[in-house]
Amino acid sequence: VDVTRIGLYFQDTKPEFPLSRTAVMDGEFVIPAGDSDFDVSARVVIDKDSYLYNIAPHMHLRGKRVKYRAEYPDGTKEELLSIPNFQHNWQMVYRLKEPKMLPAGTVIVAEGAFDNSVDNKLNPDSTQVVRWGDQVWDEMFITWMRVSER
C-alpha cells in the first residue's frame, strides 16, 4: 500500500534570486576496453557573481572517483568535494551547509576516472570501448549544480 504525500508551498512574489541549474560535463570521452583508470575532466566558467548550493555528480557503472574544485579569478583554488570511491548506487546530491560565493570568472573543475576493467565488479563488459550514453551500460560524466545569482 502506498501512502504518498507531497507538500507544495506557494508565495505571491517571485524569489529575488531563483535557483538555476548548471552543469559541468564531458560527453566526448572514449574509454578503452580494459582500462582500469581512465581519466576524464570538465570545466565550466561561472559568468556572474553567484552562490553555489549543491553538487550532484553523475556517472554510471564504471565511475571510479570524482572531485571538484573552484579556481577563483584571483588565482586561488579550493577543493569543493572529493569522492575517492564513487559508487553508482550511492549517487547523491551534496548540499552545502552554507551557500558558497563564486565570483564571476570562477572556473569549476571536475576531475574523475572510470574503471572499465574486469576488476570492476559492476562493469557489464570490460571488452567493450565505452562512450557517453543514456543507458546504465553506457557512461556519463556530468555534474549538476544549483546556483543563484548574487
User: Tell me: the pLDDT tens digits for 32-62?
Assistant: 999 999 999 999 999 999 999 999 999 999 9
- pLDDT above 90 for 150: no
The closest alpha carbon to 114, from 27, 31, 56, 3, belongs to 31
Q: Are 113 and 35 in contact (CB under 8 A)?
A: no
Q: How far apart, in Å, do the first and last CA atoms of the chain sit?
A: 45
Cα–Cα distance, 79 to 67 (Å, whole number): 8
The whole-model pTM stands at 0.88
Q: In the prediction, which pLDDT does 142 show? A: 96
The closest alpha carbon to 100, from 66, 142, 70, belongs to 70
